[in-house]
Each structure stands twice: as structure tokens, then as C-alpha cells.
Amino acid sequence: MQRVMIIGQPGSGKSTLARALGQAARLPVIHIDHIHWKPGWQERARAEKTAMCLEAQARPEWVFEGGHSTTWADRAARADTVIWLDLPLWLRGWRVLKRTLRYYGRTRPDLPENCPEQFSWEFYRFIWTTRQSWQVKAQALVDGLGPDKTVYHLQSPRQVRAFMANMRTALAQGNLGRPHR
């Protein structure tokens, strides 16, 4: 395991899993929000985000969490492992609300500096309106992966916890094995 791609919708736990997996596997973690945003909630230009993603994906090792689906095909081609966090909408909404309350007015660890957490109806609308189209896009990505990729499709917090427990054990033993798709 050298290059891990984590995808999932907002509130699915991408950043949390990336940090835990990066620490356990001793891999650098790339958070898409550091690419998407500049300090002060200034969105980068699409071309700049794409260039930054491609540069990061070219590195020899990483855990890369998040979107910018324009670069998914390239990222998936470089990844040896793809993790799809596919948690229920109600749970993701709850997590986003909890995260907002926890960090309100402060910058989360997975965001650039000077991006204080804020409540945004627009963000909740985005979560709601993209839930089905995003699901189709993620399924197409996973369906298009070759047999050389290790794929984990995790659909509950219990599965995520079991995955990390198994991963820590496998990494400690130096044996990652090949999971079922």
C-alpha cells in the first residue's frame, strides 16, 4: 500500500480516515480542501486545482482524500488502493452539523488557515442535491477499476472501524492481503 485514494461525500469521514490511515501506514496525507481553498475561504481556479491534484498524485506515496473528480481517473490509475466511504445521508448530515458546532469560528485541521468553520445552508443544499449524481459517479469510478486495484466499499461506521482495526493489524504484521471487492 503506497497510494490510497479515499472518496466519499461530505461528512462521510474522509479526512478522519485519511489521517488515521496515513499515520498507521506512515504515508503523507493530502486533503482536497487544501487544494480547493486558499486561506480565507478563497476558492482556487479550476485549472490551478487540477494542476495541484496532478502534481500531488504524481508523488510516489500518499493517502489522497476528497474530490475534484476531474482528476479522479488519473488518481485512480496511480492508486493501488481505493476506499469508497458510502455512508447514509442522515448520518453524513448529522456529522457535518456536529463538525460545524465543534469547530464553529475556528479552522479545522483539514482546511487551510483562516478558513473558520461556519454554518451554510448552501453547503447542506449541495449535500442534498448531489447525493444521487455523486453516487452514480462514484459507482462508475469503482466499476471501472482494474483487478490490480484493492477496493474497499465501506457503508457504515462499524465497517470503517473494522477496516482500520484490520489495517493496523496487517500493517503491524507487514501483510496487507487482498480484500474482496
Average pLDDT over residues 85-109: 94
* DSSP conformation class of 107: B
- What was the pLDDT predicted at 106? 94
| Alpha-carbon torsion (103, 71, 149, 144), positive or negative | positive
Would you state the pLDDT for residue 179? 44
Query: Distance from first CA to last CA of the chain, Å, rounded?
Result: 16
For 66, counting Cβ atoms within 10 Å of its Cβ (0-12 exposed, 13-18 middle, 19+ buried), the class is buried
State residue 69's pLDDT score.
Answer: 86
Phi then psi dihedrals of residue 88, to 5 deg: -60, 150
Residue-averaged pLDDT of the chain: 92
Helical H segments across 26-130, by residue range? 32-36, 46-57, 72-78, 89-103, 121-129
pLDDT in tens, 103-156: 999 999 889 999 999 999 998 999 999 899 999 999 999 999 999 999 999 999
Contact call for residues 17 and 164 (beta carbons, < 8 A): yes
Note the pLDDT tens digit of each residue in 48-60.
Answer: 999 999 999 999 9
Q: What is the C-alpha to C-alpha distance for residues 30 and 10, in angstroms, rounded to an integer?
A: 16
Chain segment 21-50, per-residue pLDDT in tens: 999 999 999 999 999 999 999 999 999 999
Q: What is the pLDDT of residue 176?
A: 62
Instruction: Give the separation between CA 5 and CA 18, rounded to whole angstroms.
Output: 9
The answer, yes or no, to whether residue 177 has pLDDT greater than 80, is: no
Report the alpha-carbon distance of residue 32 to residue 10 in Å, rounded: 12
pTM: 0.91
Q: Which CATH architecture has domain 3-173?
A: 3-Layer(aba) Sandwich (3.40)
